[in-house]
Amino acid sequence: MDGKQTWGPRLASLRLHGTALVLLVPLVAIGWWGGSKPVPGMAEVTAMSRILPTGDALELTYHAAGETWTDLIPIHRAGPARYFSAGVGMAERAAEYPAFPLKLVLTAGGKPFLARVGLEVTSHDGTIHLSIPPDHVTGPWLFLDLPAGTYDLTGTRGEERPRLRRVTVQPGSSQTLYLRFSGE
């Protein structure tokens, strides 16, 4: 091996579970223990992202204590739309991501740590432009790259469907919206 540790598959498999305990495991593996302060004696982790040339994944590259490792986050496509989910653990939250027009922060009970939420993107006449299944939403952030236009967003969590959010996507701009569900 060339000094490059690839913990990505391990982190990627852990991110699918979405529980508080599992969120701590990747943090410990990269030298963090909850919160935003590094563990004494452990190096701070930095993360950078880039879309792979194939366009089908986002590569997160982590650096800490002279070590480097990567994790891949799938980028899903549906027609002209693309999307990916992120925000699991402190390192993912610290990374800078490509400028997609919309970033949704999924919350429940005021905490932005919700995953496994379905999302439907429709036009005002009810035409479905994008339907995201809950298993594609593995973290509390959902980045959407939609063509310019006005859309209604409806989230689904079990039987709960929070009220619609109308959003206008404009070329060259980005915005962050919070999709709030009731507490657990």
Contact, 97 vs 83, CB < 8 A? no
Residue 64 has what pLDDT?
A: 83
Contact, 69 vs 7, CB < 8 A? yes
Q: Are strands 149-156 and 102-108 parallel, antiparallel or unpaired?
A: unpaired
CA atoms within a 13 Å half-sphere pointing along the CA-CB vector of 92 = 25
Q: Domains of the chain, with CATH numbers?
A: 8-181 (2.60.40.1120)
| Average confidence (pLDDT) over 32-38 | 33
Q: Is 70 exceeded by the pLDDT of residue 6?
A: no
Confidence of residue 133 (pLDDT cuts 50, 70, 90): very high
Confidence of residue 90 (pLDDT cuts 50, 70, 90): confident
Query: How many angstroms separate the CA atoms of 170 and 166, rounded?
Result: 13
